[in-house]
Structure 1
């Protein structure tokens, strides 16, 4: 394994799990929780907005928070399995991804499909704990989950498809709390879309040279040196739309104080990012866990 790999040996997966489990843990990205956070946080936004609308008891909200946390963990793993199945030939040609379980042969495609089926079954059990309207939303997002890996082959903006996918929780969380959808959830979903355009463009800059060689498309390649001003636009729209969602939901002044803190955090990201430093891009990408938490706390305090 080369230093360029996104798998780090000697971590808790190697130390604590039996050898036969380790490739599956890495296939589900259990060793890299940032993706689970970025999937889970919009769920918390939707739940907080739904709580404001429905006034559900705290015990019920705690149940939903726990269910969505487990669901985010499982479905993020399922999405990674789908992605690595589609991309196994491309991954072998990129230094950062060549040691991933399917690309390296540690997990065969057939084994990955069985693992995917198990993850989807767990996800279904979790979904069935929600109301019937949420069932329909939960099934609808699967089209995006399974089509996202193809986007990088046909568009310069696969990050847009990821944005539609990863922020679905804003809709699903609101629906789980209220049994319906309303404008605050839709506007928060739109905010998450632009947030993802920002952070995943930064993430994509890690692989831009390899992507250009193997023919994979991304917003990082499309924007190039225009990335910084694009981030300003993406993040400004994120803050503005979150403010709109808060206003539509009737949230209080603490929410807007939190969104001001979010704006400062985004300003730090834009000022700090160096698109030619892969490690720095990864650090900025991971900092978006904090950005999403700021929003969740702001909505709850509001």
Structure 2
């Protein structure tokens, strides 16, 4: 399996299959699922989209298949109610970041598991979302020197770039560029959705967390962020413990503006976290703690 290859599924067909299995509430014959989701009267007998969805979910460990050709949900996805795309995307993100999916991440010639997508995300999130938009016209040149030689290039051709633009937003790690920034089909390395989901899963409402520890946990759970284990392993510059870095700073600032994060600075703090703010290019914001507030924006 390789997620940026045309033989793999895009995220949306996998969601359709998961919703069907959630509704079924028991193992389901592959042939029955195929007839429901990919009827020959509509597809003309071409079931590639359905078959790719099954193979991709099997490869990610999200579903399992029995010897009698029945499929069922596996792991955390089995607890979903089938109503929330966001909840499914969290499951996808965790599956993609599973170490078992990334054994060949440092070898750009190998595309097994989710390594090709993970490499691409590490490169993409090394860019500054306040100054960089990426599209089919510049994704190749923006990769120059971004990763270790063995892992280059992260995205090898336009077909893989097009598939990346489906997977990265689904994982909460990219957003379409605003009309004032770029053209249709261009994206910015905005990881706000993934950061917000991770924050809300990790800490309770009104939790007050040391800012440096806060960032450490986010990098652990989203290892494609600069400073995360996958990113460091691929040679992306490490912002170090007390600096959030451009992509994560952007998400944290949005958390403050949208009021699901509150930043504080205690006078006697031992460590301060620096956050890049384009409105203060000469002096970074520094904070000692971050308070998590229930997100009323979703």
TM-score (norm 1): 0.34
TM-score (norm 2): 0.34
Q: Taking CA–CA contacts closer than 8 Å with sequence separation of 6 or more, which of the two structures ends up with the larger relative contact order?
A: 1
- Structure with the higher fraction of residues in helix conformation: 1
Larger radius of gyration: 2
- Structure with the higher fraction of residues in strand conformation: 2
